[in-house]
Amino acid sequence: MNKKTIRDVDVKGKKCLVRVDFNVPMKDGVITDENRINGALPTIKYLMDHGAKVILCSHLGKPHNIFTPNFKLNKKEKAALDALPEAERDAAKAEMVAKALKGDAKKFSLEPVAKRLNELLDGKVTFAHDIVGEDAQAKVAAMKDGEVVLLENTRFDAGEEGRDLEFCKKLAAFADIYVNDAFGTAHRSHASTAAIVEYGLVKTAVCGFLIEKELSVMADALEHPVHPFVAILGGAKVADKLNVINNLLDKCDTLIIGGGMVYTFLKAQGYSIGTSLLDEEGLALVPEILKKAEENNVQLLLPVDTVAADKFAEDAAYDCYDADRIPEDRMGLDIGPKTIELFTDALKTAKTIVWNGPMGVFEMAPFAVGTKAIAKCLADSDATTIIGGGDSAAAVQQFGYGDSMTHISTGGGASLEFLEGKELPGIAILDEK
């Protein structure tokens, strides 16, 4: 994918609308993890240093569309209303709306991010208290070259997810050049991720350094891997990963299956899985997958033993069992030692490794052993190691192996669709070199 980057265009004196991913965790208005902010800094600093006016936009969480009159309540709120006597619903709805207007404005505001950015960028960052309203317009109009304005949470306006044309027009008015540097949202076709370019409202669309790296590393690994190429997939449901599995079976030499979907594979082969997770929809898909692996001469590795517990809890009683003999009252929550040896042996000779999905419930210490062992194996490997975001990325960082990986994707959902071979809307709209 040979897309233009910010290096390929003259940004001096231009308004650059940059889609970033500042969907950072916060507690009581305090940012608890700055990785996504730090990840965006190289692109922001480059634009500042080259005389651009930098307008940043991002979502944060899943708030109500409080900038939109008569915004919709969420599913939980609607269910609560429906459960009330009809005579009480109007008052309850008014209370819910008032609570959302007050609570979301505080909980989901990007103002704490703006304050932190201002500290990191020598006091050159201004926060706009709306997205495309009077405050944003005034602050963008007052910008000097090399300054930054961060707009308020894009999801406060229903026009973001709804791709509203008028909202897009107002957002595009801030852009001589559109820059996408948010790979984590590139699979969404929202106003700020794709629509303003798709509608023809911005003529120049390029990527920042984060997306440039995602495309160069992941695309190259998938399209031109150095063999042996080993793919590792975890996750709960076979059906959710079917397209990924099919795409990888056309490219890799070995496919390792772990995580909750293992038990659907075992069940499809007639084995007892106890109370382990079962994907009923995926059950019928397993024979097709096994057949394709055989036809493509791909080694498909499944666990030979599993750690199974009496309940889904950290204090559960657990033991290790052969994968085809899980007791009826036990659920599989991790791969066993024989499987760890099997999987790591396959990984030791690999030259390209792509990993998406943990091996077990790594958030619970007793069931994190398998995921940690795979992470360590990749960290010790001289292969190109690509971690596909989401839980895999979280696990690698948790175990302290992040710095040893070639690349950790910044987008869980986006990287998964990328592995499927899908065209991502936020990438498709970028200019070709």
What pLDDT shows up at residue 1?
67
Nearest to 150 by CA among 20, 34, 47, 50: 20
Nearest to 121 by CA among 148, 102, 96: 148
Q: Do the two domains 6-63+108-213 and 225-400 of this chain adopt the same fold?
A: yes
Give this prediction's pTM.
Answer: 0.84
Partners of 322 in the β-ladder: 305
SS3 assignment, position 314: coil
Structure tokens at 139: 């602050």
Distance CA 259, CA 241 (A): 12
Distance CA 36, CA 292 (A): 38
| CA 420 to chain CA centroid, nearest Å | 14
Nearest to 356 by CA among 430, 417, 285: 417
Give the C-alpha distances (Å, rounded to integers) separating 17 from 4, 44, 375.
Answer: 15, 11, 37
What pLDDT shows up at residue 16?
98
What pLDDT shows up at residue 219?
81
What pLDDT shows up at residue 370?
97
Q: Per DSSP, which regions of 99-235 are E strands?
A: 125-127, 148-150, 177-180, 205-207, 229-233
So which residues are the catalytic ones? 36, 237, 390, 413
Distance CA 186, CA 178 (A): 14
Distance CA 39, CA 22 (A): 10
Q: Which fold has domain 225-400?
A: Rossmann fold (3.40.50)
Give 6-63+108-213's CATH code, choosing from 3.40.462.10, 3.40.50.1260, 3.30.590.10, 3.40.50.740: 3.40.50.1260
What pLDDT shows up at residue 183?
92
Q: What is the CA radius of gyration of the chain?
A: 24
Helices within 50-195 (DSSP H only):
75-82, 86-107, 111-120, 134-141, 158-162, 165-172
**Number of other residues whose CB lies within 10 A of the CB of residue 68:** 16
Domain boundaries, the chain: 6-63+108-213, 225-400
Give the C-alpha distances (Å, rounded to integers) separating 34 from 26, 117, 216, 401.
Answer: 10, 10, 24, 18
Distance between first and last Cα of the chain? 9
Low-confidence ranges of the chain (pLDDT < 70): 1, 389
| Total residue count of the chain as it appears in this document | 433
With tokens 């839980």, the residue in question is: 391
Distance CA 257, CA 291 (A): 15
What pLDDT shows up at residue 216?
87
